[in-house]
């Protein structure tokens, strides 16, 4: 087995048991938080690494789809931009979340789609091309959309400016994504073998970064988890459920084909919560990063579960339509 094959296998293990790693290290951080606290000083660069990995998955064909399928891409992006921010704002009031914690929920709602949505769309037999296109649009628009929503919903209680958030998101999201795309474009033409290895291996790097971020935020919020645990957990579960249901409802109402409805479902319900964590720790506090960190865990539970449900439904439908076997 070559070194590249060993790296691929290690990456597969890291990805397959992603939720296990997150839950394991988050649990350890609850009991022994001190070793994980220094991670909070490196959330922004870690997210930059994750977004670089996202950029490596993009190819010119992904951008051509934006022109070829504008209607469905626009519907998915607008649904993502509207459903989650409005739901976040409503839940903050309904659950009477403390201001510091509520900021985190609003940041999650205003965040763009994450790469998890692309993976879950694939596993749930949805339209992966549409999912990638919507993720690309919402990510590229994040420097404008995210500060605008955040300041519109809770701006009266903040000292953060639109320009400050815009600049930070450009630095930790837009530049790494475009850099990753440029690297992939170059390698595909000059060193395709290296491009294949990079795409296969880099997700494991992202897994390590996400696990470290979640553990750091959990470790910094041990007291908050104990005192506000029920309300925080309810907010995370309800927000994710509203997003998934809203995405499915919008796609269905728009008359999309079933595979595109599934892509819309995951795009709306699965957020780039890592970006919300980075902005929370950069501009606010560790308390504000609590809900985004927990959302990272929860949507990686509901996403695979829903993808499995979609696949199971397809299997039943195929079985029902199959002709009876000859005796």
pLDDT higher for 294 or 3?
294
Taking residues 183-208, what's their average pLDDT? 80
Write the CB contacts of 240 (distance below 8 Å, at least 6 apart in sequence): 269, 270, 295, 298, 299, 302
> Which band of pLDDT confidence, cut at 50, 70 and 90, is reported for residue 21?
confident
Query: What domains are defined for the chain?
Result: 42-310 (1.20.1530.20)
**pLDDT for 57 beyond 90:** no
260-318 tens-digit pLDDT: 999 999 999 998 888 888 888 888 888 888 898 888 878 878 888 888 888 888 777 66
**pLDDT for 254 beyond 90:** yes
How far is CA 45 from each of CA 56, 233, 283, rounded to the nearest angstrom? 17, 27, 15
pLDDT higher for 322 or 159?
159
> Which band of pLDDT confidence, cut at 50, 70 and 90, is reported for residue 327?
very low
Overall pTM > 0.75:
yes
- pLDDT value of residue 84: 94
Listed in sequence order, the DSSP H helices in the chain are 3-16, 18-31, 43-56, 60-68, 70-94, 99-110, 115-123, 128-154, 162-169, 175-190, 192-220, 222-227, 229-253, 258-269, 273-283, 290-321
- pLDDT value of residue 156: 59
Write the CB contacts of 250 (distance below 8 Å, at least 6 apart in sequence): 75, 79, 83, 264, 268
- pLDDT value of residue 75: 94
117-172 tens-digit pLDDT: 877 887 788 887 888 888 888 988 989 998 899 888 877 566 677 888 888 888 88
- pLDDT value of residue 264: 95
Taking residues 245-257, what's their average pLDDT? 94
Taking residues 86-108, what's their average pLDDT? 90
């Amino acid at each position: 087995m070559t070194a590249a094959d060993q790296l691929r296998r290690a990456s597969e293990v890291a990805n397959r048991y992603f939720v296990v790693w997150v839950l394991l290290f988050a649990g350890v951080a609850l009991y022994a938080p001190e070793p994980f606290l220094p991670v909070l000083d490196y959330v922004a660069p870690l997210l930059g690494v994750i977004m670089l990995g996202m950029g490596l998955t993009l190819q010119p064909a992904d951008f051509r789809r934006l022109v070829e399928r504008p209607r469905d891409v626009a519907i998915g992006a607008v649904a993502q931009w509207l459903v989650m921010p409005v739901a976040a704002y409503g839940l903050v009031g309904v659950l009477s979340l403390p201001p510091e914690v509520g900021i985190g929920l609003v940041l999650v709602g205003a965040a763009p789609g994450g790469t998890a949505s692309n993976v879950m769309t694939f596993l749930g037999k949805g339209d992966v091309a549409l999912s990638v296109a919507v993720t690309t649009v919402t990510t590229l628009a994040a420097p404008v959309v995210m500060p605008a929503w955040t300041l519109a919903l809770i701006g009266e209680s903040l000292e953060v400016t639109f320009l400050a958030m815009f600049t930070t998101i450009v630095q930790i999201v837009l530049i790494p994504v475009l850099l990753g795309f440029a690297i992939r474009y170059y390698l595909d033409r000059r060193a395709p073998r290296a491009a294949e290895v990079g795409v296969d291996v880099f997700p494991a790097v992202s897994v390590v970064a996400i696990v470290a971020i979640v553990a750091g935020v959990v470790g910094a919020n041990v007291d908050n988890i104990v005192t506000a645990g029920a309300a925080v957990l309810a907010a995370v579960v309800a927000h994710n459920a509203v997003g998934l249901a809203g995405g499915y409802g919008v796609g269905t109402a728009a008359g999309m084909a079933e595979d595109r409805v599934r892509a819309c479902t995951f795009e709306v319900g699965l957020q780039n919560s890592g970006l919300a964590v980075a902005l929370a720790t950069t501009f606010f506090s560790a308390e504000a990063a609590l809900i985004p960190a927990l959302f990272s865990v929860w949507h990686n539970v509901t996403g695979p579960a829903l993808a499995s449900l979609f696949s199971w439904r397809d299997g039943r439908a195929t079985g029902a339509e199959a002709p009876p076997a000859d005796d």
